[in-house]
């Protein structure tokens, strides 16, 4: 379907995940509203604008290697000029020479402004029962 907002939003979600995997601040900047509110696993847990978040991400991205994110159970809702996408994620990365894995939940809220969808809110958090932990070496 042409101009299907769900298809467009799914593509934005995929671009968002890919930008994280590539640790690309330029690609993230293209997706986020400058006034985006972000709740994330990267400390501090709340950012009131993208610039503050971007400054923290620069430091975070230098500490992790080979970031991979797989999202599943993706649900997209559209109500006029506001849309939200919820999903679960499995994230794996190397930090301090160890493979780290984390399961969590991810919510993106987009707002359409002048015909363009911009990410205005992100909430990402690990599942409470599964803490980020290094993979054990086989014995």
133 domain-assigned: no
List, for residues 45-62, the tens digit of each pLDDT value: 778 888 888 888 888 888
For residue 99, name the pLDDT band (cuts at 50, 70, 90): very high
Domain with 21, as residue range(s), is 5-126
Q: According to the model, what pLDDT value does residue 59 have?
A: 85
pTM of the entire structure?
Answer: 0.85
**Which residues fall within 8 angstroms of residue 32, CB to CB, at 6 or more apart?**
50, 53, 118, 119, 120, 122
Radius of gyration of the chain (CA): 15
119 domain-assigned: yes
33 domain-assigned: yes
34 domain-assigned: yes
70 domain-assigned: yes
What CATH number did the domain enclosing 45 receive? Answer: 3.10.450.50
Hey, how many other C-beta atoms are within 10 angstroms of the C-beta on 139? Answer: 3
DSSP E strand boundaries for the chain? 32-39, 46-47, 64-79, 82-95, 98-113, 116-126, 133-134
Q: According to the model, what pLDDT value does residue 2 have?
A: 59
List, for residues 11-49, the tens digit of each pLDDT value: 999 999 999 999 999 999 999 998 899 887 666 677 888
136 domain-assigned: no
List, for residues 72-95, the tens digit of each pLDDT value: 999 999 999 999 999 999 999 998
Count: domains in the chain? 1
137 domain-assigned: no
């Amino acid at each position: 379907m042409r101009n299907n907002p769900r298809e467009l939003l799914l593509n934005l979600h995929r671009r968002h995940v890919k930008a994280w995997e590539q640790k690309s601040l330029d690609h993230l900047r293209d997706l986020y509203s400058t006034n985006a509110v972000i709740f994330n696993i990267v400390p501090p847990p709340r950012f009131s604008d993208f610039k503050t978040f971007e400054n923290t991400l620069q430091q975070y991205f230098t500490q992790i290697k080979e970031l991979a994110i797989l999202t599943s159970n993706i649900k997209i809702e559209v109500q006029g000029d506001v849309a939200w996408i919820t999903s679960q994620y499995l994230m794996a990365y190397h930090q301090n020479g160890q493979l780290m894995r984390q399961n969590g939940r991810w919510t993106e809220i987009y707002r359409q402004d002048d015909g363009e969808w911009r990410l205005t809110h992100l909430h990402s958090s690990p599942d409470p029962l599964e803490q980020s932990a290094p993979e054990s070496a086989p014995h």
